[in-house]
Amino acid sequence: MADITASMVKELRERTGLGMMECKKALVEANGDIELAVEELRKSSGMKAAKKAGRTAADGVVCARVAGADYGLLLEVNSETDFVARDGNFLGFVAKVADAALAQRCEDVATLMAGGLEAEREALVQKIGENITVRRARALAAPGGVVGSYVHGNSKIAVLVGLKGGSGELARDVAMHVAAINPQYATPAEVPPAVIEKEREILVAQAADSGKPAEIVARMIEGRVRKFLAEISLSEQPFVKDPEITVGKLLKQAGAELTGFARFEVGEGIEKEEKDFAAEVAAQLKG
pLDDT digits (tens, 9 = 90+) for 213-235: 878 888 888 999 999 999 999 99
pTM for the full predicted model: 0.74
Domain range holding 132?
A: 59-172+257-265
Sign of the dihedral through C-alpha 212, 215, 219, 224: positive
One domain, residues 69 and 154:
yes
Query: Is residue 271 in some structural domain?
Result: no
**What is the rounded distance in angstroms from the CA atom of residue 202 to the CA atom of residue 92?**
47
One domain, residues 24 and 82:
no
**What is the rounded distance in angstroms from the CA atom of residue 272 to the CA atom of residue 216?**
45
One domain, residues 72 and 151:
yes
The backbone region for 270, taken as left when phi is positive above 0, alpha when psi lies in -120 to 50, beta otherwise, is beta
pLDDT tens by residue, the chain, 287 residues? 678 888 888 888 777 666 677 788 889 999 989 888 888 877 765 443 333 223 333 799 999 999 989 999 999 999 988 899 999 999 999 999 999 999 999 999 999 998 789 989 888 887 887 888 899 999 999 999 999 999 998 899 999 999 999 999 999 999 999 999 999 999 999 999 999 999 988 888 887 777 788 788 888 889 999 999 999 999 999 999 999 999 999 999 999 999 999 999 998 877 665 545 455 555 555 54
Tally of domains in the chain = 2
18's CB contacts (< 8 A; 6+ apart) are 12, 41, 45, 47
Q: Where are the beta strands (DSSP E) in the chain?
A: 59-67, 71-79, 133-141, 146-151, 157-164, 238-239, 242-246, 257-265
pLDDT value of residue 47: 46
The backbone region for 8, taken as left when phi is positive above 0, alpha when psi lies in -120 to 50, beta otherwise, is alpha
One domain, residues 73 and 46:
no
One domain, residues 153 and 77:
yes
**What is the rounded distance in angstroms from the CA atom of residue 221 to the CA atom of residue 209?**
13
Per-residue pLDDT reduced to its tens digit, 57-79? 379 999 999 998 999 999 999 99
Query: Is residue 73 in some structural domain?
Result: yes
DSSP β-ladder status, 59-67 and 133-141: unpaired
